[in-house]
Structure 1
Amino acid sequence: MSFHFITGLPRSGSTLLAALLRQNPRFHADMTSGLGSLVSGAMQIMSPGGDVGSTVSEKQRKDILRGLFDNYYQSLTDRPVVVDTNRQWASRMTLINRLFPEARVIACVRDLSWVVDSLELQVRNNPYHFTRLFGPNNQGTVFGRAEALMGHDALIGRAYTGLKEAFYGEHSASLLVIEYDLLAKAPQKIMPLVYKFLGEPDYAHDFENVEYDAPEYDEALGVSGLHKVRPKVEFLSRRTILPPDLFKRFQGMEFWRDLNATQANVITTKPANSEENSTDDLR
């Protein structure tokens, strides 16, 4: 069993990508798993000052963490390629590299203004209760909710800074960044590039019949429909529901479009002086 990983920003296509990959009989892919939390918990216990920090060797730590991955999926799938999804993998690139030197990490991204907009839309689609995405002091207005999301250790802010770390880090060559708009508009062009990056043979996907939903998980968060994927892969253009000043506040933060200080592979729109999208090849 080989492992790869999906990470990136919320509301940026990670569930869609997993839903597409799981059409391939070689791949097991899903929404965010509990593996990231298990790994973090084990690392905490084995760290200096932890419950067993002084009783386990470096090799034991590595073996235990590697064993978590193998054992987590042993009874879940017999497919040879596992793609685990968790936003924290972006900030665990060194760990991934040490445990799985051949692993690749795919980060799904999107203009931050539209990430905030998409989450706000989900909140408004569930008007009869508060969501667990926010604390009790941040349920009042869209301005408070947006600021809460962008906090350093909050849903968007933590994912954004973790991805930035991966993008400029020493293991960036094993990272592929995909912009949501391009995946939604041209999946038939993007998926072959994904397989090329993973070193896997191409697969004929059905982009008209994609299935994924996690109603129980979403209802527990108080955001029904958060992980529901529409059957047809397409980009639906609409006006933002954010006030103009709030929408503008988060524009221009797409660091992944500057390729000068990274070895990461990026599938993104080209700079403003280009009229084409960079979907023809990996960087």
Structure 2
Amino acid sequence: MAGVLVLALVPFGAVADAWQERADWSEIFRANEASGTLLVVDKRDGTTTTLVHDGERARQRFVPASTFKIPHTLFVLDADVVEDEFQVFPWDGVERDFPQWNADHDLRSGMRLSVVWLYQLFARELGEEREKSYLEAIDYGNADIGDDVENFWLEEDMLEITAEEQIEFLERLYRNELPFDEADQRLVKDLMITAAGSDWILRGKTGWSGKLGWWVGWVERPSGPVFFALNMETPNRMADLPKRQGIVNEALRTIEALPPEA
């Protein structure tokens, strides 16, 4: 029993030696001409298996970009900056490079289309003090917002997080263990749904800083969840963005976390 208790207290990162490097995932990255990391924590059937491509990079912090919309949505719901998923925020009339952003939005469309101006509005409403307090409360990355409340999750040298820390955060959200109302956590998880089948649900969020791309989330199966966090360089900018989901999907199929047709 004592041995079990000691193991339970060991932090996630301390058991990194048990991570399994996947040579076949290296081939997936190579075939996509991509440089990055993919960390997968498979919790099906009551066990935990941690698989990785480039474990060293999985412990390196990077700007979260729009993956930060996951916790950011929890912040604004908790602070009553947003009433619910139906509240509509009018477009400010500023034409932006992504045409789908040039419209009114609510939480659901803001998450699905990754509308930056909407979350910059939320950041101004929250303010530096509350942003910092929430980040520290959930132990998110380095919890550093710098001196730019509208861009701290988008620019380098401010907020940063590792792939490993992304999964630690997502696991807590999956279990409704973050310091927010359970209803708000369930809503955010609903907003994260990107695909589903008869016996699986894929929840995730992309991110892109202009240089770095993210795809984080999990697949829910009757036997348990499979968490994933990918980050990769995007030297070809938008041309590289489809590789994020493509690489993860291919890797998840190798462990039958996603069906072949997903």
**How high is the TM-score relative to the length of structure 2?**
0.27
Q: Rg larger in 1 or in 2?
A: 1
Greater share of strand: 2
**How high is the TM-score relative to the length of structure 1?**
0.25
